[in-house]
Amino acid sequence: DIVMTQSPDSLAVSLGERATINCKSSQSVLYSSNNKNYLAWYQQKPGQPPKLLIYWASTRESGVPDRFSGSGSGTDFTLTISSLQAEDVAVYYCQQYYNSPLTFGGGTTVEIK
Amino acid sequence: QVQLVQSGAEVKKPGASVKVSCKASGYTFTDYYIHWVRQAPGQGLEWVGRIKPSSGGTNSAQKFQGRVTMTGDTSISTAYMELNRLTSDDTAIYYCARGSGVTVAGLIHSWLDPWGQGTLVTVSS
């Protein structure tokens, strides 16, 4: 199974500042045939199910604010919130869909400083 | 809009079984996989398995094989997940989610969107 490791476990950021979350996979999730990274990011607010933010490592889902961006390739990925808003307080998860079983990172909690 | 609505909370005794339903609307049920993911209290996300509603074909994580049964009723656009021989470690919120993505060389690659609201399954004596 591909192991997904997120860092940090939690971070506190001031409103309007940048938040950066890292995700590392135990093997590459880059598919050579189409040069796509099989990685997604989700946001989960308290008491709610996860919500898809990004897929193909950097493609924003429709309706997701452009302050959210994804980057990286191979085994190292980053989710960036460029200007943190109060409504962004949540736990964020990465997920690989390169192969089965689907696996998730342990989550990163984002709070307001 | 695309929506997945799950059945209500369940309380079960150790050794019992639970069956959770997931009703889809707003899209053609047979066009997408349905995945099941669980989340233990205060913990992260764990993939349980998936079903292809058009054929009934299923795949599950190794730890659940032999204990989980996933089915679908295309006439009512509803997927089901049944988990047997419950223990306290199975206490969790169980989510269904639609799989979107690609199939390459027969392999399915899915991100999950949207998710159902979740069903809390509590296993307690």
CB contact (8 A) between residue B111 and residue A55:
yes
Q: Report which secondary-structure segment, H or E, holds A65.
A: none
Residue B80 — φ and ψ, nearest 5°? -130, 145
**Can you give the pLDDT at residue B106?**
75
Q: Which two tokens stand for residue A62?
A: 């429709």
Express as a percent the part of chain A with pLDDT over 90.
97
In tens, the pLDDT along B79-106 reads 999 999 999 999 999 999 999 887 877 7
- The one-digit pLDDT tens for each residue of chain B (125 residues) are 999 999 999 999 999 999 999 999 999 999 999 999 999 999 999 999 999 999 999 999 999 999 999 999 999 999 999 999 999 999 999 999 999 887 877 778 899 999 999 999 999 99
Chain A residues whose CB is inside 8 A of the B114 CB are: 49, 51-52
Chain B residues whose CB is inside 8 A of the A98 CB are: 109
- Which residue among B61, B95, B110 places its CB closest to the CB of A97? B110
Which residues does A71 contact at the CB level (< 8 Å), separation at least 6? A57, A58, A77, A78, A80
User: How far apart are the C-alpha atoms of A71 and A73, rounded to whole Å?
Assistant: 7
Q: Which of B38, B59, B112, B120 to mutate against chain A (most A CBs within 10 Å)?
A: B112
Compare all CA atoms of chain B with the CA of A97 and give the residue at the minimum distance.
Answer: B109
**Can you give the pLDDT at residue A64?**
98
Q: In 10 A of CB B14, how many CB atoms?
A: 13
Compare all CA atoms of chain B with the CA of A53 and give the residue at the minimum distance.
Answer: B113
In tens, the pLDDT along A3-51 reads 999 999 999 999 999 999 999 999 999 998 889 999 999 999 999 999 9
Compare all CA atoms of chain B with the CA of A59 and give the residue at the minimum distance.
Answer: B111
